[in-house]
Amino acid sequence: MDLQTFNQRILPVQGRLFRLAQMFLRNREEAEDAIQDVLLRLWTNRQQLETYQSIDALAVQMTKNLCLDRLKSHRNQKTEGGTDISEVHAKEQSPYALLESSDSSRLIHQLIGGLPEQHKLVLHLRDVEEYSFEEIEEVTGLTNANIRVILSRARQKLRESYLKASNYENEH
């Protein structure tokens, strides 16, 4: 695979990978850094890429794994730094922080961040990237039924927490 084919096949995906990374890492620079990592890895292993059925799915998987790894190491660093995970977590979701985000999109963004990883991933792939269930199956390795359940739960959870947060907002 030469640079041209690589550019044709992989680079159009980079927007999608970027959004996924941004959803996980919630930071533009870190997301860019992560997908650069992914793309360079794909590029160095491009000889084997031909053997994969769907390079898209592979790239998405790689991005997801890399982001989760990074989040994990971030959390570890924070724990080592003496800050409690739950504290950080709580801070992220504290109503005061949510109150500060006047923009409802940002609020949603933060709320999605509070969902479990798998819910996040499925919700993101479906509602933002508009993946079909088959494509989500390919990326996550989950069954169709499983995906539907997770998706439904994620959507309801998002709605609930949004209502809660906006109510809180309205009340104050």
Q: How many degrees, rounded to 5, is the angle at CA 27 between CA 21 and CA 30? A: 65
Q: Which residue has the tokens 């739960």?
A: 153
Using CB under 8 A, pick the residue from 9, 75, 78, 109 that binds another protein: 109
Identity (one letter) of the amino acid at 147?
Answer: I
Cβ distance to another protein smaller for residue 57 or 151: 151
Instruction: Report, in Å, the least distance between residue 57 CB and another protein.
Output: 17
Distance of CA 156 to the CA centre of its chain: 18
Report the C-alpha gap between 124 and 118 in whole angstroms.
10
Using CB under 8 A, pick the residue from 48, 76, 94, 152 that binds another protein: 152
* Interaction between residue 25 and another protein (CB under 8 A): no
Number of H helices, E strands in the chain: 11, 0
Q: Which residues bind another protein (CB under 8 A)?
A: 3, 6-7, 11, 14-15, 18-19, 22-23, 28, 31-32, 35-36, 39-40, 43-44, 46-47, 104-105, 107-109, 112, 126-132, 147-153, 155-156, 158-159, 162-163, 166
